[in-house]
Amino acid sequence: MFRDGLKAMFCRIGYNVVAEYSDVEALSHMFERVQADVLIINPELVTMPLHELLKKLPMDSTVPVFALVYQYFPPERLAVYDAVIDCRMSDETLGQMLDEQLGQTNKQKVNTENYELTDREKDVLILVAKGFMSKEIADKLNISVHTVISHRKNITRKTGIKSVAGLAVYAMLNNLMDNNE
């Protein structure tokens, strides 16, 4: 009942509830499929220490964890949470708090998104630019084809360039190719 109320409240202030779960197992599966900006937990239902619970979840450690309290709860046990939502909070207070907390983490995310190619990705890029197939690259670098393909995906995501011809020009413009080749 409280959950529905909370959901409606989130909706009113422009946030989306991506999923709701009542046990850790299901929650852990959820994190494999959707990206959440915040995790809200009722501390009364958490039977183990919070850090142990979080270890069980395949979740980005930058995702903040909020406690949802319905009644008095010992403050020392709430200290481990990033923020506390009180069920009596107004829309406005909740909205402000979310904007504050999530605005910060979103900013961090943008800044830490790294578009620099790693050394390994540069090795792969050079071989792609020279016209080698993924299988050949895997043999040359002693890695699996699967790994080569995932490097190629990252190279394309970071550079914005999809075609082999385009990647060859990128490598040239960035002085990754020897001039005699």
Partner 1 sequence: MYSLNNRLIDIISASPAVVLLLSRFGISLGFGNATIDEVCHKNNVPADLFLMISNIYADDHYRVSKDTLKRVNLEVLFCYLRRSHDFYINDRLPHIQRHLDKVAASAAEKGDVLRKYFQNFLQQAARHFRAEEQKLFPVIEQMARGENVDTQVIVSFEEHHDRLDEQLSDLTQLVFKYIPGVDAEFSTEMLFDIVVLNHDLQKHAIIEERVLLPYIKMITR
Q: Which residues on neighbouring strands pair with residue 39, listed in sequence order? A: 65
Single out the residue of 43, 64, 95, 166 in contact with partner 1 (rule: CB under 8 A): 166
Instruction: State yes or no: residue 95 binds partner 1 (CB under 8 A).
Output: no
Dist CA 27 CA 20 (whole Å): 8
Q: How far apart are CA 105 and CA 99, in angstroms?
A: 10
Q: Which is nearer to partner 1, 95 or 166 (CB)?
A: 166
133 touching partner 1, by CB under 8 A: no
If residue 47 lies in a helix (H) or strand (E), which one and from where to where?
none
Q: Which two tokens stand for residue 121?
A: 């990705």
Q: Which is nearer to partner 1, 98 or 171 (CB)?
A: 171
Please name the residue that has the structure tokens 């385009």.
Answer: 166
Nearer to partner 1, 3 or 162 (CB): 162
Among 19, 48, 133, 172, binds partner 1 (CB under 8 A): 172
Question: Counting contacts by CB under 8 A, is residue 174 touching partner 1?
Answer: yes
Strands (E) located in the chain: 39-41, 65-69, 83-86
Kindly indicate which of the ranges 8-16, 30-38, 124-132, 159-167 contains the residues binding partner 1, using the contact rule CB under 8 A: 159-167
Tokens at 181, concatenated: 């080749």
Q: Which positions lie near partner 1, rule CB under 8 A?
A: 159-163, 165-166, 169-170, 172-174
